[in-house]
Amino acid sequence: MAIFLNADSKVIVQGMTGSEGMKHTQRMLNSGTQIVGGTNPRKAGTTVTFEGDTEVPVFGTVAEAMEATGANVSVIFVPAKFTKAAVVEAIEAKMPLVVCITEGVPVKDTAEFYTLAAESGSTRLIGPNCPGVITPGQSNAGIIPADIAPNPGKIGLVSKSGTLTYQMMYELRDFGFSSAVGIGGDPIIGSTHIDCLQAFQDDPETEAIVMIGEIGGDAEERAAAFIQANVTKPVVAYVAGFTAPEGKTMGHAGAIVSGSAGTAAAKKEALEAAGVQVGKTPSETANLMREIMSSLS
């Protein structure tokens, strides 16, 4: 099965007519995603033709696109200064799943639309600054390369890091994934490790879970407590940033260590105390999962 995204998902792209939106819409189409529309108020009523003579209509608003197409997923490719307005528009239209790819979104803006999404009760937000969600063989909402792990499988993956998502999917491509979710590494994000862990726990076709975290904050420690209390499936983890110097932001805006808080070592200790096997490298983590999957087959 899958979490959040499947073959029936109908996707619109906010910012589809921009250069990044066009490029990644084509990639999503190539991987089998049902792209049913895009939005751009200045180009409403037109269509965009993609490879294979696929014509995708452009709507003025998210609400109009949803009414005309039955869309239930929006992927956002707009510049950071316009991202808040785009996400708010999708939330107010009651879009069930909003995947915000844009990086560099001001934390104040994210805090405001995160709160709006949480209070809406109707929108799941993923991101910002994330690679999106992929359910191999069914649908791809975002920028995850579909060809690195083309076959569906029974591993669930949740990751803060885009590139480590890709590496883990590639290393375990022979087993395949039910779904992979890149949640993003900003200080404030929509869906968390815990949200995805719960969804994978509830998915009958997911047999084991890989969780990728990084230094900074306490998300991984909270995930460890959640796993110990609520997750019965085997979980392996990797925490990026063992060699990061104190006080220096590493890659993601949320990846900063202050004193003993947020270190990779502290996160590893919390996860192992919850029964999670933690790899020292991404490849070692993949091998730990390989052993688990081999024992389950």
Residue 18 annotated as lining a ligand binding site = yes
Residue 269 annotated as lining a ligand binding site = no
Enter the tokens of residue 24.
């990644």
Residue 17 annotated as lining a ligand binding site = yes
In Å, what is the CA distance from 237 to each residue of 125, 232, 281, 284? 23, 15, 10, 10
Residue 143 and residue 99: Cα distance in Å, rounded?
11
Residue 51 annotated as lining a ligand binding site = no
Residue 52 annotated as lining a ligand binding site = no
Residue 215 annotated as lining a ligand binding site = no
Is there a contact between 141 and 84 (Cβ–Cβ < 8 Å)? no
Q: Is 94 exposed, middle or buried (0-12, 13-18, 19+ CB in 10 A)?
A: middle
Residue 43 annotated as lining a ligand binding site = yes
Residue 170 annotated as lining a ligand binding site = no
Which residues are 42's β-sheet partners? none
User: Given 154, 160, 193, 252, which residue is catalytic?
Assistant: 252
Residue 19 annotated as lining a ligand binding site = yes
252: annotated active-site residue? yes
Residues classed as catalytic: 252
- Residues placed in the known binding site for CoA: 17-20, 43, 101-103
Which residues participate in the annotated binding site?
A: 17-20, 43, 101-103, 166
